[in-house]
Amino acid sequence: MSAALTPSQIQEALQGLDGWGIEHAKLLKVYKLKDFKAALAFINQVGAEAERLDHHPEIHNSWNRVTLRLCTHDAGGQITEKDLTLARAIQSISLP
């Protein structure tokens, strides 16, 4: 079971995560891509990283906009280091 991070730990980590914020105890970022095809390609890359890290984020797509929400289910839906690790991995993905 993963340990939930404290609010101060989360705020400190967010300083290194460009564009990420918190919404309802979840890490949140919205990506705006060129078009629907680029959004789908990005979602596939996020999915590959998530699978590699054994994490399952909430992903919502609306045409060229991809919204990601990260929390750890086995920590009661709270933010853990596992979420930060995935957020950092997602940030390293080159946008199509």
* pLDDT beneath 50, residues of the chain: none
Q: What is the pLDDT of residue 79?
A: 97
> Quick check: is 19 in a domain?
yes
Tally of structural domains, the chain? 1
Range of the domain at 46: 7-91
> Quick check: is 60 in a domain?
yes
Q: What is the C-alpha separation between 94 and 28, in angstroms, rounded? A: 18
Model pTM score: 0.93
Q: What is the pLDDT of residue 94?
A: 76
> Quick check: is 2 in a domain?
no
